[in-house]
Chain A
Amino acid sequence: MKRRFKADRFLVQRMGISLIALAAILTVVPIIGLFGYIIAKGAPAISWEFLTTMPSNGMRAGGILPAIVGTFYLTLGTAVLSVPLGIAAAIYLAEYAKENWVTRLIRIAIINLAGIPSVVYGLFGLGLFVLFLKFGTSILSASLTLSIMTLPVIISAAEEALRAVPQSFRTVSISLGGTRWQTIRKIILPQALPGIMTGVILGLERAAGETAPILFTGAAFFLPRLPGSPLDATMALPYHLFVISTQVPEMPIQIQYGTALVLIVFVLGMNLIATFIRSRARAKRQW
């Protein structure tokens, strides 16, 4: 009787662990397959010409230069607006804010900003920037929309990085006669910088890959030239991939895979830089 009970117990264990392992395999293997497949299919399309020329023949031939440049501008625009604001907000939360209901309200707001669907950001951008402030469908409107979407990522990461700096650093600086701002600017910020950078890059990475927020705020279906000012609309890699995979009939499959690969390299390249900064900072850190 006791023996059978014991056997059952181990049978259950073997079945349970096998099921879990199966779930993990079924999750991980497709991910590896997915990356391999895109690289294998997209790599033949990549050439210097593909990266540096304009699309031609209704986007069915030529390169994707305006989409690459557009995504670069949008990412840059997003950074200009969201990085200073996000870091300042993080400094407030980590160094100034008291634990009271206002601070709790700010935290709830940040969590909610992070959860708002990207297409709702698009609607908001259309309502506020494109129509109300009359910026039109432009890089400016799209960047502003993406900045607000990126803000919660940057604030959370930067706050965490600031809080990770040991309290003793602050105590010592203040006791040496430094003011609060001097302490933050000269001691805390430099120490927290790698962590902040990591968060910034991860936030911008998300912005670079988004389509829905720029759909009605700044993305152009096709533009035969590069955007000349922040008030121009622009092509962008994610939107371009959407267009050529759903809206253009008889689109050569190779160009589609090539565009997908360039987008992934752009986005995951940023991810790689962030990982590199983080691991180097960890190795150098003395506390």
Chain B
Amino acid sequence: MDKSPNWRETFVTAIVKTCGYSAVVFVILIFFFLLRQGLPALLEVKLGDLFTTRWYPIENHFGILPLLTGSLVVTVGAMLIAIPFGIGTAVFLAEIAPRWMREILKPLVELLGGIPSVVLGFLGILLLSPFLRVFLNLPTGLTALAGALLLGAIAIPTTVSIAEDALDSVPQGYREGALALGATKWQTIWRVTLPAARSGVLTALMLGVGRTIGETMAVMMVTGNAPVMAIKLTSILSPVRTMTATIAAEMGEVANGSSHYHVLFLIGLILFLISLAVNITASSVIFKSRKRAERVLS
């Protein structure tokens, strides 16, 4: 009688503990399966051939540079949109807008984050790319710019939400102090509040942009999917193809175990490693700022 609850405690603890470790197991499993299917690509395709500018799998040309630059140009474009608009909106909501307005607008922006990316891609095809084609007088509207605009829209909710939280958690005393010293509201925002919330705002940007690197459907639908090198300044106005879109578009058609199949897994492995790097950096920023906050408070 006395023993059974103890036995149950041990049992439950074991189960709960196993589940707790599951996240680590899954990360390792994902890494393992990407390695298992992706590494053979390095044996089948010479490293020198992999880093060429021609992606044409039907004739065994597996140059991934166009895909890398495609992802890069679209992501940088998205960043250039997410930084001013995301942080601008966060500052507006946290520092300028009246309370009732913030209570309405913040959930609205977060609602944008809930829209499936395939819906954004759908609107990109029907509205955005025809608009870009006519407005910028291009042969096609399906360009890196269209992809960057959609990715900006995908990055903004995360950025606004986290940056606004960071700004909101800056102690009111900082603002009052600055204002009491004769600073204008703008000077307070620019020189006191924003620097005080710096690490949170940085994290917001990293997580927002982190989402864009891995985004697949919206990008695949609007970037035109031409695997050409995107290194000129005008590349933003021409079709490109990202790493994610390549996997999504081609994986359905390749034979399992072929070189093409292994190269696609290798691209997946590269994406996995990029997201690992971004997230570990972002979390170490959070970790550092928490430590600093603890030091200040103690």
Closest residue of A by beta carbon distance from B30: A124
State whether the Cβ of B50 lies closer than 8 Å to any Cβ in chain A. no
Bound together, the chains give a CA A206 to CA B114 distance in angstroms of: 7
Do A112 and B122 contact each other (CB < 8 Å), given the known contacts A24-B92, A27-B156, A267-B115?
no
Bound together, the chains give a CA A149 to CA B15 distance in angstroms of: 21
Closest CB of chain A to B103's CB: distance in Å? 12
Q: Which residues of B contact A182 (CB under 8 A)?
A: 5
State whether the Cβ of B135 lies closer than 8 Å to any Cβ in chain A. no
Q: Which residues of A contact B20 (CB under 8 A)?
A: 88-89, 91-93, 96-97, 106
Closest residue of A by beta carbon distance from B119: A260
Bound together, the chains give a CA A246 to CA B278 distance in angstroms of: 32
Closest residue of B by beta carbon distance from A91: B16
CB-based contact B271/A119 at 8 Å: yes
State whether the Cβ of A268 lies closer than 8 Å to any Cβ in chain B. yes
CB-based contact B115/A245 at 8 Å: no
Bitwise, A5-30 to B at CB < 8 A (1) or not (0) is: 00001101100110111111011101
Closest residue of A by beta carbon distance from B287: A104
**8 A Cβ contacts from A83-114 to B:** 85, 88-89, 91-93, 95-97, 105-114
- Of the candidates B8, B96, B279, which one forms a contact with A111 in the assembled complex, judged by CB atoms under 8 Å apart? B279
CB-based contact A92/B19 at 8 Å: yes
Most buried by A among B5, B185, B189, B268: B268
CB-based contact B23/A110 at 8 Å: yes
Stretch at the interface among A46-54, A164-172, A207-215: A207-215
Stretch at the interface among A31-39, A61-69, A225-233: A31-39
State whether the Cβ of A193 lies closer than 8 Å to any Cβ in chain B. no
- Of the candidates A27, A116, A208, A260, which one forms a contact with B272 in the assembled complex, judged by CB atoms under 8 Å apart? A116
CB-based contact B26/A120 at 8 Å: no
State whether the Cβ of A146 lies closer than 8 Å to any Cβ in chain B. no
State whether the Cβ of A131 lies closer than 8 Å to any Cβ in chain B. yes
State whether the Cβ of A148 lies closer than 8 Å to any Cβ in chain B. yes
Stretch at the interface among B32-40, B60-68, B232-240: B32-40
CB-based contact B23/A109 at 8 Å: yes
Stretch at the interface among B41-49, B168-176, B211-219, B290-298: B211-219
**8 A Cβ contacts from B53-106 to A:** 84-86, 88-89, 91-93, 96-97, 105
Most buried by B among A20, A91, A105, A111: A20
Do A27 and B34 contact each other (CB < 8 Å), given the known contacts A113-B23, A123-B265?
no
State whether the Cβ of B181 lies closer than 8 Å to any Cβ in chain A. no
State whether the Cβ of B116 lies closer than 8 Å to any Cβ in chain A. yes
**8 A Cβ contacts from B150-186 to A:** 153, 156, 160, 184-186
Bound together, the chains give a CA A124 to CA B264 distance in angstroms of: 12
Most buried by B among A95, A216, A260: A260
Q: Which residues of A contact B134 (CB under 8 A)?
A: none
CB-based contact A96/B13 at 8 Å: yes
- Of the candidates A88, A115, A211, A260, which one forms a contact with B279 in the assembled complex, judged by CB atoms under 8 Å apart? A115
CB-based contact B278/A115 at 8 Å: yes
CB-based contact B117/A256 at 8 Å: no
Bound together, the chains give a CA A119 to CA B93 distance in angstroms of: 33
Do A152 and B23 contact each other (CB < 8 Å), given the known contacts A127-B265, A211-B116, A238-B116?
yes
Do A242 and B29 contact each other (CB < 8 Å), given the known contacts A109-B23, A117-B215, A212-B216?
no
State whether the Cβ of B111 lies closer than 8 Å to any Cβ in chain A. yes
CB-based contact B9/A181 at 8 Å: yes
Closest CB of chain A to B128's CB: distance in Å? 10
- Of the candidates B9, B30, B115, which one forms a contact with A180 in the assembled complex, judged by CB atoms under 8 Å apart? B9
State whether the Cβ of B248 lies closer than 8 Å to any Cβ in chain A. yes
State whether the Cβ of A151 lies closer than 8 Å to any Cβ in chain B. yes
State whether the Cβ of B125 lies closer than 8 Å to any Cβ in chain A. yes
Do A27 and B217 contact each other (CB < 8 Å), given the known contacts A120-B34, A127-B33?
no
State whether the Cβ of B251 lies closer than 8 Å to any Cβ in chain A. yes
Closest CB of chain B to A217's CB: distance in Å? 10
| A interface residues (Cβ-Cβ under 8 A, vs B) | 9-10, 12-13, 16-17, 19-24, 26-28, 30-32, 34-35, 37-38, 85, 88-89, 91-93, 95-97, 105-124, 126-128, 131-132, 148, 151-152, 155, 179-182, 205-206, 208-212, 215-216, 238-239, 241-242, 245-246, 253, 256, 260, 263-264, 267-268, 271, 275
5 tightest Cβ-Cβ pairs between the two chains A and B: A117-B214, A23-B88, A92-B20, A209-B116, A88-B19
| B interface residues (Cβ-Cβ under 8 A, vs A) | 5-6, 8-9, 12-13, 15-17, 19-24, 26-27, 29-30, 33-34, 36-37, 84-86, 88-89, 91-93, 96-97, 105, 107-109, 111-112, 114-119, 121-123, 125-127, 153, 156, 160, 184-187, 189-190, 207, 210-211, 213-217, 221, 244, 247-248, 251-252, 256, 264-265, 268, 271-272, 275-276, 278-280, 282-283
Q: 21 A-B pairs, CB-CB below 8 angstroms?
A: A9-B184, A12-B184, A16-B190, A17-B185, A27-B156, A28-B89, A28-B108, A31-B111, A88-B20, A89-B22, A109-B26, A117-B271, A119-B268, A122-B251, A123-B265, A132-B33, A180-B9, A209-B118, A211-B217, A242-B221, A260-B119
